[in-house]
């Protein structure tokens, strides 16, 4: 099946997907190494879900290639899905079914007995297996989705906006689980627009804008760019901006001004992210 461990967990090259006249993703390339926790950042409509749907074979694509764990997303879809645990952003199930029936259905469709792992996950996420799906809130449906994605102990998790709807306690438990599975070698691909969780838990991240990846790096490097967050009190006026460039030029620009206070800091990931989404010119 071509699942050599040297192959990256996800390898996308020149992926282009359009929905008729509407743009999905455009010439998107991405590489996620095995064992990584990878953040895929972008606002709604940037192409995050389309990328994931292409990877999982839910939609076809016009150009490029996509492989998961060394398996081609188009030709080896079934084998690929055996090794992946996916949690969609919407987390919808059959309303009349009970939680335990949904979890059992997901395991049976994989031809696996996952009762032990499922029970552990239900206990940790406080999922009531006897409730009907139609009785569950979005947060509780998300928890059922997490159990379905994790119970078969896959090699790769793909989570699409996993924490929306989860309360802070459950978010913490969810990431605790991610870190535990990751310590056993499971790769995690986390699509999100919640920057603090990417900053806190991911090692690498990519930023997607208008269907294309504009930046991929370690989260550490992304927050350590040449850009600096400048806060100062100049001529009695407070200023707060992101400066990217030579600091000599910045200080030269202060000549003739009265600088009462100044702090120069590494920017937050949020600010780096926003840089890619604003067309404002660099302030000198």
Partner 1 sequence: MTFYRHEMRMNRRNLLIWTACVGGMCMGCILLYASLADSVQNIASSFSDMGAMSAALGMDKMSIATLRGYYATEIAMLHGLGGAMFAALLGTGLLAKEESGHTAEFLYTLPVDRGWIVLQKYLALLSCILILNVVCVALYLLGFVLLGERMDAGELLRYHTAAILMQIEIGTICFAISAFVRRSAAGAGLGITVVLFAADIMCRIIPAIEGAKYLTPFYYANAADIFADGGLNAGPTAVGALITAACLAAAWIWYGRKDLR
Question: What residues line the site for partner 1 (CB under 8 A)?
Answer: 19, 53, 56-60, 78-82, 84, 86, 88, 90, 92-96, 105-106, 108-110, 145, 148
Nearest distance in Å: CB 97, partner 1: 8
Distance CA 129, CA 140 (A): 11
Q: Specify the residue for token string 């490029």.
A: 64
Nearer to partner 1, 102 or 178 (CB): 102
Nearer to partner 1, 81 or 170 (CB): 81
Nearest distance in Å: CB 148, partner 1: 7
Nearer to partner 1, 52 or 222 (CB): 52
The total number of residues written for the chain in this structure: 284
Please, which residues have CB within 8 angstroms of residue 266's CB and are 6 or more apart in sequence?
223, 224, 228, 229
How far is C-alpha 136 from the geometric centre of its chain's CA atoms? 25
Q: CA angle 215-219-221, nearest 5°?
A: 75
Distance CA 232, CA 32 (A): 39
Q: What are phi and psi of 147, to 5 degrees?
A: -60, -45
Nearer to partner 1, 96 or 169 (CB): 96
Nearer to partner 1, 145 or 187 (CB): 145
Nearest distance in Å: CB 281, partner 1: 39
The pairing of strands 156-160 and 84-87 is: parallel
Nearest distance in Å: CB 69, partner 1: 13
Nearest distance in Å: CB 73, partner 1: 12
Pick from 273, 266, 272, 234: which is nearest to 251 by CA? 234
Nearest distance in Å: CB 246, partner 1: 48
Nearest distance in Å: CB 235, partner 1: 55
Pick from 131, 150, 152: which is nearest to 140 by CA? 131
Pick from 278, 157, 281, 283: which is nearest to 209 by CA? 278
Structural Rg of the chain based on CA atoms = 22
Q: In this structure, what token pair is assigned to residue 57?
A: 């074979």
Nearer to partner 1, 9 or 148 (CB): 148
Pick from 57, 51, 55: which is nearest to 68 by CA? 55
Nearer to partner 1, 21 or 78 (CB): 78
């Amino acid at each position: 099946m071509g699942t050599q461990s040297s192959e990256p967990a996800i390898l996308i090259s020149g992926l282009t997907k359009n929905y008729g006249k509407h743009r999905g993703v455009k010439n998107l390339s991405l590489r996620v190494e095995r064992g990584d926790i990878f953040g895929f950042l972008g606002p709604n409509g940037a192409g995050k879900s389309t990328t994931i749907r292409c990877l999982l074979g839910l939609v076809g694509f016009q150009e490029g290639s996509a492989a998961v764990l060394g398996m081609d997303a188009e030709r080896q879809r079934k084998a690929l899905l055996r090794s992946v645990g996916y949690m969609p952003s919407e987390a919808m199930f059959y309303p009349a079914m009970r939680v335990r029936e949904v979890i059992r259905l997901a395991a049976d469709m994989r031809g696996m007995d996952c009762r032990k792992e499922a029970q552990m996950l239900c206990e940790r996420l406080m999922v009531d297996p006897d409730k009907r799906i139609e009785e569950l809130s979005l947060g509780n449906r998300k928890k059922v989705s997490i159990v379905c994605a994790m119970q078969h102990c896959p090699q790769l998790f793909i989570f699409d906006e996993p924490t929306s709807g989860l309360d802070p306690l459950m978010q913490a438990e969810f990431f605790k689980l991610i870190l535990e599975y990751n310590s056993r070698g499971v790769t995690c691909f986390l699509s999100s627009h919640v920057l603090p969780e990417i900053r806190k838990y991911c090692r690498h991240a990519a930023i997607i804008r208008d269907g294309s990846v504009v930046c991929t790096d370690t989260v550490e490097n992304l927050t350590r760019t040449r850009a600096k967050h400048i806060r100062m009190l100049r001529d009695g006026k407070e200023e707060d901006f992101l400066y990217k460039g030579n600091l000599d030029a910045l200080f030269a620009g202060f000549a003739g001004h009265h600088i009462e206070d100044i702090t120069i800091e590494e920017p937050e990931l949020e600010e780096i992210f926003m840089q890619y989404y604003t067309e404002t010119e660099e302030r000198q």
